Amino acid sequence: MPSVFIDGEAGTTGLEIRQRLARLPLDVHSIAPDMRKDPAARRALMAAVDVAILCLPEAASREAVALADELGRDAPRILDASTAFRTDPSWAYGFPELNRSQQERVEFSMRVSNPGCYAQGAIALLRPLVDGGLLPADFPVVINAVSGYSGAGRPAIEAHERDGGPAFELYALGLEHKHVPEIELYGGLTRRPLFVPSVGHFRQGMLVSIPLHLDELPSRPSGADLRAALAARYADSRHVRVMPAEGAQRLEATALNNTDRMELSVFANEALRHAVLVARLDNLGKGAAGAAVQNLLLMLGLAEEASPHG
């Protein structure tokens, strides 16, 4: 039975991953609470497993990778959920839907970086359009997004669950959000996008939207052209679905909660030549823990049907 160690399983993502792995045919190793910061104990656990999943802050993830490096040939494969290695070319980026070769890269890499939740939605929308020549790589892209508060960190989670929290708030208004570098790189962009994230007073769920003036695009595409490019890219995807044009004119952020799916929509007004691209997902599902389990199953050569989440 494949073996796994979650370093940092007490955090939000770690707990969610731990719960999901309990339902799978895996031998999951845990560290005693009083040993969580003991380098020797963590290194020993890493030496005993096939894959170590890191659910740690960026600096702590780098320290954990250094511990694994000390093991040499006994080091496990690593799946890192932090931002530390997402743009490192020596790591596989854990969005298997990125292109035709990315799933294979995840399957065979020793080190895989789990993607950001916002980033997955933005990249899923942008990359097929850039690859297809419908969106120039240097286009001034604007991305708006809202997430449930479970992705905002422990203090925010506690505030929302204890005091009610704000109904809605923008954040990262210094325009330096940690997901921007991976969106730019894996979205195929050569110009840094403008990203405006927000948090709503709901635990989980996410919408990522990208507005477009269609006549500003060199190919002057229609909404149908954009949808066709997305549909072609994800035609065989288990997790990503492109919604039909006649879909609802409202989207509720929590509709995909407790699933590992992502839905992509194109809303267009051809008379005005405006369009909005939207990705909907669960920030704890496909956005974090679900993506981690998807990547882990690929790394271990296990069928995705083993995952209990649809």
* Amino acid making up residue 276: V
* Amino acid making up residue 39: P
First to last CA, the chain: 23
Output the CA–CA distances (angstroms, integers) from residue 128 to 136, 137, 236, 280, in the order listed.
11, 11, 14, 17
DSSP of 204-246: S-EEEEEEEEGGGSTT---HHHHHHHHHHHTTT-SSEEEPPTT
Which residues are 192's β-sheet partners? none
Q: Which residues are catalytic?
A: 117
CA–CA separation, 145 vs 277, rounded Å?
11
Q: How would you label 75-104 residue by residue, b for 16+ Cβ within 10 Å and e otherwise?
A: bbbbbbbbbbbbeeeebbbbbbbbeeebbe
- If DSSP codes are grouped into helix, strand and coil, which group holds residue 289? helix
CA–CA separation, 242 vs 263, rounded Å?
6
Look-up of token digits 């007073």: 201
Q: Could you tell me if residue 72 is left (phi over 0), alpha (psi between -120 and 50 degrees) or otherwise beta?
A: left
